[in-house]
Amino acid sequence: MPTPVQSAYDFLASHRLFNNSYAEWLTAFATMVAIMAAVWLVKRLAAHRLRKIASTTATKWDDLLVELVEDVRFWLTLVVALGIASYGLSFGPVTMKVLQIATVTALGLQLLLSSRLVVDFGLARLIERSRTEHGEPDPTLRTSMVVLRFVIMLVLGVIVLLLALENLGVQVGPMLTGLGIGGIAVALAVQRVLGDLLASISILLDKPFVVGDAIQVGTQSGTVETIGIKTTRIRATSGEQLIFGNSDLLAARIQNFKRMEERRVAFTVGVVYECPPEKLRHIPQIVQEIVEKQEQVRFDRCHIFRLGAYSVDAEIVFFVRSSDYRLFMDVQQNILLALIERFAAEKIEFAYPTQVQVDKRQPV
């Protein structure tokens, strides 16, 4: 006489559902539950243990491991467990192919999600280690992080996709050849977008400017706010936001005022022809004394260099040891006001456009 266990097994083995016995269905379900339980238990214990270790160390690597363990997604694990459990069942070729595609896709997505954490961790470490002489994060790397992250994730995504297709039995080699031919047509259709993308990579590598730099492009000037994959946004000096395509930006002539170590200033002062020669000879000395009294200013020269139509012209050249535009304007204002005061005290008159009318008619 069969035992109850034997009877139950015979019942499960003799009754079938969708070409599989009840016993096979029960085994597949138990396998899926066991995989899910094992993953959940390992994830919980590993995360708890790693979190305790991470709290006692200064390194960031264990924090990354905690994030990787906690980032394992339940629904992706469920799909993988379902795919593994289904190998003990008999399905039609279409159903088996769908399960295989779902399993490979879930593994690929989980790999991409974990790769995202590793990439973000690496970029954050790079920015943290690269600091300016003032101890601040390097704005160059902060600028390029978005573009660099996009490019890395795009490359990883393509690699994962190719590996997934190869595991599904797709011949990757001929497909890549076909994509190479078709890619030419696609590139021609989206060449503007690709041009902006390549320009953003060029900005990333060559660094003609970074976020926070004051630049001038053509007749437009402002401060760089963001550098994106397709466009760069600049806050104009008048307040509005200017948006440039990256390829257009690199094609134009860019002036970067942030990297200016000192600003050269040159202007002309004209005095009347009635000014005595001895006072004209004294003008360069007067100008030098005034300029050298200003802070962060380096005097270069002052010369009487031209006999104009209505004035004797002196050219004044000096350097402001800063890229600050407000400081430059303050210095220039102080020098001009001091020149007016000193010339008034020396009785040296500034020239202005005049005309002399000569009447050669004989008196009647």
Q: pLDDT (tens digit, 9 = 90+) per residue, 129-188?
A: 666 555 566 655 665 676 677 777 777 777 777 777 776 666 666 666 666 555 555 555
Kindly report the CATH number assigned to the domain that includes residue 273: 3.30.70.100
Cα 170 from Cα 168, distance rounded (Å): 6
**pLDDT of amino acid 177:** 64
Rounded Cα distance, 66 and 78, in Å: 21
Name the pLDDT band for 307 (thresholds 50, 70, 90): very high
Task: Tell me the average pLDDT across 68-91.
Answer: 75
- Which has more pLDDT, 40 or 7? 40
Same domain, 109 and 221: no
Q: Is there a single domain that holds both residue 270 and residue 290?
A: yes
Of 213 and 69, the one with more pLDDT: 213
Locate 185 and state its tokens: 């047509």
Q: Enter the tokens of residue 100.
A: 């295989």
282-288, long-range: CB within 8 Å, 24+ apart, which pairs?
282/346, 283/314, 283/348, 284/314, 286/339, 286/342, 286/343, 286/346, 287/314, 287/316, 287/339
Which residues have a Cβ under 8 Å from the Cβ of 52 and sit 6 or more positions away? none
Same domain (yes/no): 117, 61: yes
**Is 238 in the same domain as 310?**
no
Chain mean pLDDT for the chain: 79
CA–CA separation, 189 vs 151, rounded Å? 21
Assess whether 212 and 267 both reside in one domain.
no
* Residue 364 belongs to a domain: no
pLDDT for res 87: 72
Mean pLDDT of 295-319: 93
The pLDDT of residue 188: 56
Beta bridge partners of 263: 320
**Collapsing DSSP states into helix, strand and coil, what is residue 96?**
helix
- Which residues 6+ apart lie within 8 Å of 314 measured at CB? 268, 269, 270, 271, 283, 284, 287, 302, 303, 304, 305
**Which amino acid belongs to residue 159?**
I
Domain's final residue, options 129, 149, 165: 129
Determine, yes or no, domain membership for 243: yes
> Which residues touch 286 (CB under 8 Å, ≥6 apart)?
339, 342, 343, 346
Instruction: Please say which residue of 232, 256, 280 terminates a domain.
Output: 256
Identify the pLDDT of residue 348.
93
Q: Which of 129, 163, 181 is the last residue of a domain?
A: 129
When pLDDT is cut at 50, 70 and 90, the band that residue 275 belongs to is very high
Distance in angstroms (rounded) separating the CA atoms of residues 80 and 82 = 5
Q: What is the pLDDT of residue 187?
A: 54
Q: Does residue 217 fall inside a structural domain?
A: yes
Q: Which residue has the higher pLDDT, 243 or 119?
A: 243
Q: Is pLDDT above 70 for 354?
A: yes
The residue among 193, 210, 194, 63 whose CA lies nearest residue 146 is 210
Domain tally, the chain: 3
Predicted pLDDT at 219: 87
- Identity at 118, one-letter amino acid code: V
What pLDDT sits at residue 248?
87
Band the pLDDT of 353: cuts 50, 70, 90: confident
- Shared domain for 20 and 71, answered yes or no, is yes
Residue 354: inside a domain: no
Q: What is the pLDDT of residue 283?
A: 94
Q: Give the model confidence (pLDDT) of 9-57 as tens digits.
A: 455 555 555 666 666 677 777 888 887 888 788 777 777 776 777 667 7
> To the nearest whole percent, how much of the chain has pLDDT over 70?
76
Give the model's pLDDT for residue 13.
Answer: 54
Local confidence band at 96 (pLDDT 50, 70, 90 cut-offs)? confident
What is the residue range of 230's domain?
Answer: 191-256
* Helix, strand, or coil (residue 116): helix
Q: Are residues 305 and 320 in the same domain?
A: yes
